[in-house]
Structure 1
Amino acid sequence: MANTFFQFKQFTVHQEHCAMKVCTDACIQGAFTAQYLANQLITVPAILDLGAGTGLLSLMLAQHSLAAITAVELDPGAAQQATANFAASPWADRLTLTQQDIRKMKPGGGYDFIISNPPFYESALKSGHAQKDQAMHATNLTYSDLLTAIDRQLSPEGEVSVLLPYAVFDTFRELALTAGLHLREVLYIRQSVNHGYFRAVGIFGRAAADTAVTEMAVYDAAKTYTPEFKALLQPYYLYL
């Protein structure tokens, strides 16, 4: 049985009402995105989290920025859970949750940065669990829908972070390019040094630029965390 909460150094994520629990690849996305913003000396006043789930990504970015963060979640249980997680955090005054369909959001949000861990699989076997299928599969939200929502809400100079399976990342990258979003930076993730890539975190922006490519394995050959993983997650994980 999955834990009902995940304790980080500066906040706690309760997750008993969420279909999708805290997972390593989402933690990597949050940490990598926060590091990207810091390394690029990007100070953004307004961040949008599309498909917030437990609120994990919003909380991770709140820890390392002064931005006001708006999180959007469709599922009522997850929305209630994220709201409670925000209220219990040190950054409750900068975190807001709205329960709505991102496809129906009014255009013109003008957000400086958007982060999203969207439904992964546009065509794959479903689990038979409706809430989990909605969270994991693009049953209600296609990649084109997501890109349309991003385009409507992103400021002209804004950027967006997206976590996807490695197998579909190039397809999403092509769709993003058609929508006027260029890949600025990408992190390819391996479960271990003995595995191939299984996830990719991409940072996209409206202006064309060279793409910086990095890769990281979570575990080394001895099945312990790699130095790269520990360095990235050290600000968040309780025992690193």
Structure 2
Amino acid sequence: MSNQPFKFKHFSIDQDRCAMKIGTDGVLLGAWSSLEHNPDSILDIGTGTGLISLMLAQRSNAQLIDALEIEENAYEQSVENFEKSDWGDRLFCYHAAFDEFVEEMQDEEKYELIISNPPFFSEDYKTGNENRDQARFAEALPLTELIEGASLLLSETGRLDMIIPFSEESNALNIGKNHGLFPCKITRVKGTDSAPIKRSLISFSFSETEPEIDELVLEISRHNYTEEFKALVKDFYLKL
């Protein structure tokens, strides 16, 4: 089933050639990311299927939405997903490693929003599927490299938004601080009210302020979603 196109309300995503399929993390980040500062230029690091870029194209008027993907099959598929969407003229995908991209682009015009659902399985375990391992394992893009690189590409008033395991939150905040980036909003995500916190959604900026911190619970029970979660993703999921 996961190789079938994933249909959202305003776009459809083919994912048969992508190691990482559509998941809740990406949808959460694409819906949660604040556009209050009206970014006109966006960079999606590790775009995979192109999901987050497409969500931001739907939500914003940004004229430049660049995506970056190192894995060749995912890169090709994201390009196809962009081209068949209503926003193909605003979406562009680069096939490159992040360090190469930073080296090439850091002296160019800065991005007003940088967003990433980064690989985070840093354990020694490997699946044996090289593409999937590259998509899921943190050594492909360490958190330090991601945050440092983003700090070089971000405009003075820009935001860096990401979703990471809650266990990595304090690490990410420390790395951000080392590069002049501070949290302005943190949302901690739980599967159910009684479950432990699983993910952290973090929005960084160069301004050091007291961050807004809240919590998001996804389900009351299996497939019985909370009103907060439904409100967040209602513009995307067909059945919500």
TM-score range, shorter chain: over 0.9
Distance 1:220 1:124 in 2: 34
In the alignment, is the contact (CA less than 8 A) between 2:119 and 2:141 conserved in 1? yes
Q: 2:40 aligns with which of 39, 45, 70?
A: 45
Q: Against the structure 1 CA distance between its residues 193 and 100, is the aligned structure 2 distance closer, same or farther, given a 3 Å change threshold? A: same
Match status 1:32 vs 2:18: no
Q: Against the structure 1 CA distance between its residues 183 and 167, is the aligned structure 2 distance closer, same or farther, given a 3 Å change threshold? A: same
Q: Any gaps of 5 or more consecutive residues in structure 1? A: none
Residue 182 of structure 2 is matched in structure 1 by 182
Q: Against the structure 1 CA distance between its residues 223 and 183, is the aligned structure 2 distance closer, same or farther, given a 3 Å change threshold? A: same
Q: C-alpha offsets along residues 81-136 of structure 1, whole Å, 9 cap, x if unaligned?
A: 00000001111110011101110121134011100011113334222221111111
Q: C-alpha offsets along residues 137-194 of structure 1, whole Å, 9 cap, x if unaligned?
A: 1122211111222022111221110110111111111111111110010111111223
Distance 1:31 1:8 in 2: 13
Distance 1:75 1:6 in 2: 20
Q: 1:74 aligns with which of 67, 70, 82?
A: 70
Residue 55 of structure 1 is matched in structure 2 by 50
Residue 7 of structure 1 is matched in structure 2 by 7
Q: Against the structure 1 CA distance between its residues 132 and 209, is the aligned structure 2 distance closer, same or farther, given a 3 Å change threshold? A: same
CA RMSD of aligned residues (A): 1.3
Residue 114 of structure 2 is matched in structure 1 by 114
Match status 1:194 vs 2:189: no
Counterparts of 1:42-191 in structure 2, within 5 Å, are: 42-67=37-62, 68-105=64-101, 106=104, 107-109=106-108, 110-191=110-191
1:237 positional shift: 0.5
Residue 219 of structure 2 is matched in structure 1 by 219
Letter in 2 for 1:84: E
Aligned residues: 235
Distance 2:220 2:162 in 1: 25
Q: Any gaps of 5 or more consecutive residues in structure 2? A: none
**Identity, % of aligned pairs?**
34
Letter in 1 for 2:138: A
In the alignment, is the contact (CA less than 8 A) between 1:112 and 1:157 conserved in 2? yes
Q: Partner of 1:230: helix, strand, or coil?
A: helix
In the alignment, is the contact (CA less than 8 A) between 1:53 and 1:78 conserved in 2? yes
In the alignment, is the contact (CA less than 8 A) between 1:133 and 1:139 conserved in 2? no
Q: Structure 1 residues 107-116 or 118-127, which shifts more? A: 118-127
Q: C-alpha offsets along residues 184-228 of structure 1, whole Å, 9 cap, x if unaligned?
A: 101111112231111111000011011001111111046501100
Distance 2:78 2:6 in 1: 13
In the alignment, is the contact (CA less than 8 A) between 1:193 and 1:221 conserved in 2? no
Distance 1:204 1:172 in 2: 10
In the alignment, is the contact (CA less than 8 A) between 2:113 and 2:160 conserved in 1? yes
Q: Structure 1 residues 12-21 or 102-111, which shifts more? A: 102-111
In the alignment, is the contact (CA less than 8 A) between 2:17 and 2:77 conserved in 1? yes
Residue 238 of structure 1 is matched in structure 2 by 238
Residue 16 of structure 2 is matched in structure 1 by 16
* 4+ long deviations beyond 4 Å: none
Letter in 2 for 1:59: L
In the alignment, is the contact (CA less than 8 A) between 2:19 and 2:135 conserved in 1? yes
Distance 1:164 1:180 in 2: 19
